[in-house]
Amino acid sequence: MVDRAPSTPAGAAAPLSRPLVDKGLVKWHLIVAMTWFGIALLAGLFYSLQLLQHWPLPKIAVLSPGRIRMIHTNMIAFGFLTNAFLAMLYWTIPRLTGQRVLSSKLGWLIFAAWNGIVLATYVGLHLGQAQAIEWGETPVWVDPLVVVGALLVWLQFYPPIVRTREKALYVSLWYFSAGFIWLGLTYIMGNFFPQYLVAGNAAGPLLGLYIHDLVGLWVTPMGWGMMYFFVPIILKKPIWSHALSLVGFWGLAFFYPLQGVHHFLGSPIPMFAQYSAVISTIAIEIVVTTVIINFFMTWRGSEGTLQRSIPIRWFWVGALNYFITCLQCAFQVTLTFQQVIHFTDWVVGHAHMVMFGVFSFWIFGMTEHLWPKLTGHEWWSSGLRRWSFWLTTLGLGSMFLVLTSSGVVEGFMSLNLAPRATILDTVRPFWMVRSITGLAIIAGFACLAVNMVMTARAGRITHVDTEYTPYEEVGDEEVALGAV
């Protein structure tokens, strides 16, 4: 592994006949990611209305609430996160390796194929063709296409990593290389095995493994690799400890796949499997802590950036949210605590905090940093940037608090054998607040989306050619472009 920040992309200093980075692919993956994100947010808001018994579109099968819930989660995972990660890979891998990806044409094929798959999933879910696998609801006829999509991604991004003349690979590349393989394997395991090979109680651990590995072996390595790339560059200093980032990588690889059963604690799955999931979850908490420590120790000494740099704000709050989820996990993984919070909103709050509060916040940090470089324009409105950050942060923070509280209330009421109808009546005010926080999040996202469109159309033209310029030579203008 290379012992420095990724500030000098190998080969990027020399003039190139063809751009090292295909900015069009980065830009379009990001645009489409944001579009799916908007659709997923609306689906989340609508579904929250169902839980308030105010479903606005009754008696229309294609718009029934159960289908909308699946659209919410699937569009987040496959539409938003995966497109945003592809954008990130097209930007980072050529810079880290000094090599282009295999082919721009293949890039556009992947772009069309992947978004065709997401669209097919979207339509299939509306039509009620969901597969009975949580987060694997993609219709069965779409599943083989996803595997082909994962193979194409592998084909596109491995060649630059193999061809690089760097003697050692920066840690982000470790995460990315492993993540490509894990994505395909995880998807095959979760979507084909329970569907065709394993049934009943034996399928439970596989499903738990799938849900968790989709986050742990695809979203997490991409997210960590992204953070380890962008944070040192924006702060203009190396990460604090490369040894710690190595511990993170091997810890993730070893412990993450073992913890899927923690979704089914207290179920008929054999106790040895449940206990081993608890132990590996504790281990993974330590691993996640290494990433959080590395982030904050890298940031230490640059405290002013929290005020000056909006990308750093997103990364910083994301790291803080990571710490909160990690702390929360220490409690919720115990069997004692599970007796209270299992099947409650506590878990939904946890899911939003990780998927949204950590990885989506880091994606927003990346977007804040990259968008001016992709469009060649400075941000159109600094006010909208701030509004977007605050509305989203406060919206998510209050959503998390309200869901965690309602989870505890629901849990204790259930333990005291309160009738389900009474529990639902009690938590409904919490759910009303959840819908209001959802509106705040949507408003925050609208600020970001409008600002992105207006920046592309009417932002002030920047005077820096970011195409070939290595980061450390950009100097103060880099700060003016993306970091502030």
Residues at the interface with ligand HEM (CB under 6 A): 41, 44-45, 47-48, 51, 69, 72-73, 76, 347-348, 351-352, 355-356, 360, 438, 441-442
Count of alpha carbons within 13 Å of 21, Cβ hemisphere only? 29
**Cβ-based nearer residue to ligand HEM, 69 or 377:** 69
The DSSP output letter for 416 is T
At closest approach, how far in Å is the CB of 330 from ligand HEM?
19
Specify whether the CB–CB gap between 441 and 428 falls below 8 A: no
The span from the CA of 130 to the CA of 142, in Å, is 10
Taking the least distance from each CB to ligand HEM, the nearer of 279 and 348 is: 348
> Is 203 within 8 Å of 274 (Cβ atoms)?
no
Write down the least CB distance from residue 437 to ligand HEM, Å: 7
Identify which of residues 73 and 97 has a Cβ nearer to ligand HEM in the complex. 73
Min dist CB 435 to ligand HEM, Å, is 6
- Helices H / strands E in the chain, number of each: 19, 0
Contacts of 117 (CB under 8 A, 6+ apart): 78, 138, 142, 145, 146, 149
Secondary structure of 106-146 in the HEC alphabet?
Answer: HHHHHHHHHHHHHHHHHHHHHCCCCCCCCCCCCCCCCHHHH
3-state SS track over 201-216: HHHHHHHHHHHHHHHH
Closest CA to 240 of 479, 475, 4, 10: 4
Residue of 95, 231, 113, 76 whose CA lies nearest to 164: 95
Q: Say how far apart CA 22 and CA 42 lie, in whole Å.
A: 31
Nearest distance, CB of residue 344 and ligand HEM, angstroms: 9
Q: Are 375 and 456 in contact (CB under 8 A)?
A: yes
Residue with smaller CB distance to ligand HEM, 47 or 400: 47
The backbone torsions φ and ψ at residue 307, rounded to the nearest 5 degrees and listed phi first, read -85, -40
Q: How far is the CB of 179 from ligand HEM (least distance, A)?
A: 18
Nearer to ligand HEM, 233 or 441 (CB): 441
Q: Write down the least CB distance from residue 148 to ligand HEM, Å.
A: 25
Nearer to ligand HEM, 295 or 431 (CB): 431
The smaller minimum CB distance to ligand HEM, of residues 233 and 355, is found at 355
Give yes or no for a contact between 9 and 470, defined as CB atoms under 8 angstroms apart.
yes
C-beta of 211: minimal distance to ligand HEM in Å?
9
Residue 153 C-beta: closest distance to ligand HEM, Å: 21
Q: Which residues sit opposite 461 in a β-bridge?
A: 377
Closest to ligand HEM by CB, 213 vs 378, is 213
Q: CA of 386: how far to CAs of 226, 305, 309, 352, 441, in Å?
A: 22, 14, 10, 22, 13
CA–CA separation, 120 and 118 (whole Å) = 5
Rounded to a whole number of angstroms, the minimum distance from the CB of residue 250 to ligand HEM is 27
The answer to whether 292 and 324 have CB atoms below 8 angstroms apart is no
Closest CA to 78 of 35, 31, 113, 33: 33
Question: Closest distance between ligand HEM and the C-beta of residue 387, in Å?
Answer: 16
CB of 477 to ligand HEM, least distance (A): 33
- DSSP H or E stretch at residue 371: helix 361-375
Nearer to ligand HEM, 164 or 344 (CB): 344
- Please say which residue, 101 or 125, places its beta carbon nearer to ligand HEM: 125
Would you say 96 or 211 has its CB closer to ligand HEM?
Answer: 211
- Minimum gap (Å) between residue 441 Cβ and ligand HEM: 4
How far are the Cα atoms of 127, 162, 314 from residue 388, in angstroms, in the given order?
34, 39, 11
Query: Of the two residues 11 and 438, which places its CB atom closer to ligand HEM in the complex?
Result: 438
